Amino acid sequence: MDACLKDDDFTEDSLTSQLFASKEKRRAKRVPAKWPVTVATTSGGKFNTVTENISESGILFVSNSQLKAGQKVHLRVQTYTGGFPFVLDAIAVLRHVSLSENKFKCGAEFIFMRDEGRRFVDSFVNNRNPHGAKSRTILG
């Protein structure tokens, strides 16, 4: 069997589908979520910021400081469930950090979260609204 590539391996359609398949690395649906979060780094840094979105596998938040991909962080997200305050605690690893509009967008993958946190995230992402209200944003 001939292992050489043929001209039809390089059609516009085949190259486009390969390009989009290689770019899409997301494993889970993302949902907009603007919540206050405290980020603590392993080097002892700590700052307050806001999230932009969440999925079952991770979260996106903004930072004034540049963090490093691969760095582990402790996240303490302040939100509500059933009308009562809820704190979502998680350990995450930063998968990407990019500059956008003078702030760094930090995409983090959850590596540890308690069961109640997982249930909260699952309910929120899958539109079962653990907040007990219609709004997905709690910032004033």
| Mean local confidence (pLDDT), 46-64 | 97
Class of domain 29-125: mainly beta
| Mean local confidence (pLDDT), 40-60 | 96
- Centre a 10 Å sphere on the Cβ of residue 33 and count the other Cβ atoms it contains: 23
The structure tokens 């308690």 sit at 114
Residue 2: its pLDDT value, please? Answer: 47
CA-derived radius of gyration, the chain: 19
25, pLDDT greater than 80: no
- The answer to whether 10 and 27 are in contact (CB under 8 A) is no
Residue 82: its pLDDT value, please? Answer: 81
Mean pLDDT across the chain: 82
21, pLDDT greater than 70: no
63-101 pLDDT per residue, tens: 998 999 999 999 999 998 888 999 999 999 999 999 999
Residue 49: its pLDDT value, please? Answer: 97
Question: pLDDT over 70 for what percent of the chain?
Answer: 71
What is the secondary structure of 29-53 as a DSSP string? --EE-B-EEEEEETTS-EEEEEEEE
